[in-house]
Amino acid sequence: MDLKRTWAISRKELIHIRRDPISLLQIILLPIVLLLLYGYALTFDIKNVTLAIYDQERSQLSEDFINQFRGTEYFRLVKYTQSYDELKRLILERRVQAGLMLPYDFSWQYQTGKTAKGQALVDGTDSNTANIVLGYIQGVTGAYNQKLLGQRLGAKGAARQEMPVDAQTRFWFNEDLESRNYIVPGLIAVIMTVVGAMLTALTVVREREQGSMEGLMATPLKRTELLLGKLGPYFIIGMFDMAVVMAMGKLLFQVPLRGSPLLLIALAAIFLIATLGQGLLISVTSENQLQAFQMAMLTTFLPSFLLSGFVFSIYLMPLPLQIVSYIVPARYLVTISKGIYLKGLGMDYLWPSALMLAAAATFFVVMSIKKFVKKIR
């Protein structure tokens, strides 16, 4: 292989990228926009849930119970309603996310030794958010129950007893349960897929559409030199975009990097080769740029977003989708990235995912070269 000829093709590709404003936007702005968008907008940290109250009794007990919600960061009391219908209307119009109704005999039920029953209304339009809000309400209610039980036992002169069973919860690796701590590491795979596969998918088919492929084939240029020359610039761009994401994740979002950054870069480079090969395979088998773009979107970007574990846990997916996810290279980089970022893992734990990435890189590069040689004969 002649490195000078390979570099000449790379230089030609770089000139094309520089002259193409859409490619420049994808390379420079897209990673930053994706990181800012997902880092700030995509979050599962639900706080300041808007809450409306319909307190029929307005007693000391009901007000004390309501104050338990005021005293947390998870709820924001926005209105006292005058009727049950008004409370329902606020939820219907999505002006509040939850409502709490306390009946006129709330205190009487408690004072007579019964369970003081209220009603919590939660907007179930978004089932995930509704379940989290319901958990918050149950948590506040449970803590208040413990307080009242202690007061009741004290009033009877009984010694306060410890709970028979107490499972103390500790969260490992993401102690504050910050969404961005696992979104930003996973985003590395999505951004590298966009640069590696979606841009590369247009390289060869564009040459054919412009009629310049025949001229290249008439030169002493070898097929491997042509393909490697075209992939080289995108490999450099992909690694640069990864460095931007890592730097912004650390400086802007304070995402902890507990493992080796060099190991992450090395394994991400293998993943990038796999996505470049995947994009190249799409390019050499497509008839035009539109078809190549659509195929790249369907076979690279969407699977890396939906089936990699970037946002949605693979283990909560239906079994058929879990099986399909094994052929998505982004799945393995997401596992590696989160393992290095959050757990500080090394190759002794990550080698199966690294092996799958190496296999994917080998398969896609070899197949793209074979298809390209067959196509031009």
Q: Is 47 left (phi over 0), alpha (psi -120 to 50) or beta?
A: beta
Q: Are strands 98-102 and 119-122 parallel, antiparallel or unpaired?
A: antiparallel
Nearest to 232 by CA among 281, 272, 183: 272
CATH for 49-155?
3.40.1710.10
C-alpha torsion sign, points 24, 30, 33, 35: negative
pLDDT at 195: 80
pLDDT per position as a tens digit, 315-357: 888 999 999 999 999 999 999 999 999 899 999 999 999 999 9
**Which is higher by pLDDT, 315 or 156?**
315
pLDDT per position as a tens digit, 204-244: 888 777 777 666 666 777 777 888 888 888 898 889 888 98
For residue 131, give Cα distances in angstroms to 53, 98, 125, 128, 137: 19, 12, 11, 5, 10
pTM of the predicted model as reported, rounded to 2 decimal places = 0.78
Query: Whole-angstrom Cα distance, residue 90 to residue 112?
Result: 33
Question: What is the residue extent of each domain of the chain?
Answer: 3-42+179-376, 49-155
- 254 by DSSP, 3-state: which? coil
pLDDT at 165: 54
**CA torsion angle 342 343 347 352 (round to 10):** -80
pLDDT at 155 over 70: no
Query: Whole-angstrom Cα distance, residue 346 to residue 356?
Result: 16
Contact indicator for 170, 249 with CB cutoff of 8 Å? no
- 93 by DSSP, 3-state: which? coil
Contact indicator for 30, 76 with CB cutoff of 8 Å? no
The tokens describing 199, both together, are 């841009």
pLDDT at 175 over 80: no
